[in-house]
Amino acid sequence: MAGTLLAVDIGNAVVQVGLARDGRLLARWELASTPAATEDEALLALDGFLRAAREGLAAPLGDARPDEVARAAAERPADAALASVVPALTGSWAGAARRLTGQRPLVVGPGVKTGLRMGYKDPGEVGADRIADLVAARETYGAPLIVVDLGVATTVEVIDEEGAFAGGLIMPGLGLGARALAAEAARLPEVEVRAPEALVGRSTAEAMRAGIVWGETARLDGLAALIAESLGCEPALVLSGKDAGLIAGLLRHEAAVDETLALRGLMRLHALNRKPR
């Protein structure tokens, strides 16, 4: 389908919006995921992003030029592709995209072609964000591969040597762990999730930060080693999500950080499921 594409990844903490044209992701924006956002609010957000891009206020991605971004944003979007893990927001953003493009957007879910062989017992249980990550990761990095998304939840996905989705792990994310400690332990404060000052903290806040961040790092290093052992090969490792940059620099395993994984996955899913016009 010719024209510009809006890719929208709706997460529990952040909504990512990407502007793409001719198979290239030109620009991206982020906003806080508002639990009760209405269709009108979602439409205003999308329209505001496009207006900012037309006025040269969007940072181009990769080799895209500011004038390319501005020209693409000046067009009426031809279509949209959405991945959502927040059911209460799916309708609002899908409705906003439909009003903006004039047609029903592609919403990732059961029945959508992915090009992936699934080792999951029930593929319908796999979250839309996980599908988008996997599609882009396999296309970009090949196989075997471990894909980690560090958001509200930390998800670990495994692509085997044949390029099939072998399954994954789901666990609490860093921010969720920090909030849970503060909520359930009366004398522990809520701390900001950032690089710890040292391995061993010398105050309660330092000790919590070290435990949360180094604990997640050790967990992912250990899981990567266990997964490699189970596969009988050494998979590449790619991290995405809001805490990816923090953790990647602390891991013993070499890891790529890819902030646009889900948006590029949505572009690929759109290409697989929409016939050119």
pLDDT tens for 55-110 read: 988 889 988 999 999 999 999 999 999 999 999 999 999 999 999 999 999 999 98
pLDDT tens for 3-59 read: 899 999 999 989 999 999 999 999 999 999 988 899 999 999 999 999 999 998 888
According to DSSP, the β-strands at 79-84 and 4-10 are parallel
Residue 3 has what pLDDT?
87
pLDDT band at 228 (very low <50, low <70, confident <90, very high): very high
**E strand segments, the chain:** 4-10, 14-21, 24-32, 79-84, 106-107, 145-150, 153-159, 165-172, 236-240, 256-257
Residue 277 has what pLDDT?
58
Q: Which residues are catalytic?
A: 129
pLDDT tens for 111-161 read: 899 999 988 888 788 889 999 999 999 999 999 999 999 998 999 999 999
Give the dihedral of Cα atoms 81, 86, 87, 91; nearest 10 deg: -50
Rounded CA-CA distance 52/28 in Å is 11
Residue 258 has what pLDDT?
96
